[in-house]
Amino acid sequence: MVYRAEYLWIDGTEPTAEIRSKTKILADGDEPGIWGFDGSSTNQAAGDDSDIVLKPVKSFPDPLRGGDNILVMCETFLPGDMSPHPSNNRIKAREAFDAYGSQEPWFGLEQEYTLLDPVTAWPAGFPANGFPRPQGPYYCGVGAVKIRGRELVEEHTTLCIEAGLAIAGTNAEVMPGQWEFQIGPVDTVTVGDHIWVARYLLYRLGEKHGVEISLDAKPMPGDWNGAGMHTNFSTKAMRETYESIELAAKSLGEPGKPEEHLAGYGQGIEQRLTGAHETQRYDQFSYGVSDRGASIRIPWQVAKEGKGYIEDRRPNANADPYMVAALMTNTVCAALA
Ligand code: ADP
Ligand code: MN
Ligand code: MN
Ligand code: MN
């Protein structure tokens, strides 16, 4: 029997890269090899020199098609000298992990997203031409008035589990129509692979349900929470001593580091990190125990037990997890080395 491999890759869309995919039919026993695509249609090449190379790097069972079918995460390369395409951020995560893997970095990412009506682009649960009651009852809420989209969320969780992703949990968020899933704890490269595959599965369910999935960092201006991708991080040393936890939090505030990190934390960071809605302002840096208004939160159990992990609350929902994981690994592991 033939089987299908869905090749996935990250495109060159500015300012926020998107995931693309296409299908290859393979004979039984054949491996999914090197392939290519038209980079002039993905903001990755000019029309007169358009071929970009797709190199499979990891595969997962395809829970949408079932059977022997697979999803294949790829990296992109230039055909001439096989150098990485400039949009290939996975290589940054690989280089960081190659440099600091001996510190055993772990990530848990909280991916928030918003369900939108595909025609009006208005969030699910917002009445047409109007607004729902103010935030308060929606976070982890239950019931028909508060909750929209749970069926899709449950289906998504099942697909993630069947694909072998390290999905750790889900919850309804503070703004109506907003949800979250968590991936982790896994290493610097794996977390990006799993977030991107989980995003792909979410978009595919959006097609099926006729719902737009938005990773916009501030889908509703005004008194509504934005959407982030809180990044929980630890190394072996941080899982053992509080001294390392404090060193890690401090390292992210060293001169130049806040700017360097924010530049890789997704489009529209100033709109989301306002200092309100459980954020620190984008132009200020702070860390604190249990502080959801800080850039970096040290969870209370971590302070109590004297070991564990830190939470960087700044990355946007639309950030590239490869970039976020590379930055975090490089900054903190260099400080702890
Ligand atoms: P919050 O209270 O901020 O909403 P969540 O429960 O949504 O937190 O997410 C916490 C994340 O932290 C999970 O993805 C979990 O896998 C991850 N995590 C737990 N322990 C560690 C650790 N030692 N290192 C890195 N990530 C961790
Ligand atoms: Mn969470
Ligand atoms: Mn959240
Ligand atoms: Mn969080």
Confidence at residue 49, expressed as pLDDT on a 0 to 100 scale: 83
CATH superfamily of 2-88: Glutamine synthetase, N-terminal domain (3.10.20.70)
CA distance 169 to 185: 11
- The rounded Å distance from CA 229 to ligand 3 centre is 8
Confidence at residue 48, expressed as pLDDT on a 0 to 100 scale: 82
The residue-averaged pLDDT of 316-325 equals 98
pTM beyond 0.75: the answer is yes
Q: What are phi and psi of 90, to 5 degrees?
A: -60, -35
Region of residue 13 (phi > 0: left; psi between -120 and 50: alpha; otherwise: beta):
beta
Classified by CATH at the fold level, domain 95-336 comes out as: Creatine Kinase; Chain A, domain 2 (3.30.590)
The residue-averaged pLDDT of 210-224 equals 95
The residue-averaged pLDDT of 9-14 equals 97
In this predicted structure, the answer to whether residue 304 has a pLDDT above a threshold of 90 is: yes
> Which residues make Cβ contacts (< 8 Å) with residue 22, sequence separation at least 6?
6, 7, 37
CA distance 121 to 219: 9
- For the stretch 281-302, pLDDT in tens is 999 999 999 999 999 999 999 9
236 lines ligand 1 (CB under 6 A): no
SS3 per residue for 35-89: EEEEHHHCCCCCCCCCEEEEEEEEEEECCCCCCCCEEEEEEEECCCCCCECCCCC
- For tokens 């072996």, name the residue: 236
The residue-averaged pLDDT of 175-183 equals 97
Are the C-beta atoms of 240 and 307 separated by less than 8 Å?
Answer: yes
232 lines ligand 1 (CB under 6 A): yes
- For the stretch 31-83, pLDDT in tens is 999 999 999 999 999 888 889 999 999 999 999 999 999 999 999 999 989 99
Do 2-88 and 95-336 fold alike per CATH? no
Are the C-beta atoms of 331 and 100 separated by less than 8 Å?
Answer: no
Confidence at residue 335, expressed as pLDDT on a 0 to 100 scale: 98
Give the mutation target among 225, 232, 240, 333 for probing the ligand 1 site: most ligand atoms within 8 A of CB: 232
Task: Indicate the domain borders of the chain.
Answer: 2-88, 95-336
The residue-averaged pLDDT of 102-130 equals 95
Exposed / middle / buried, residue 130 (Cβ in 10 Å: 0-12, 13-18, 19+): exposed
The residue-averaged pLDDT of 88-101 equals 98
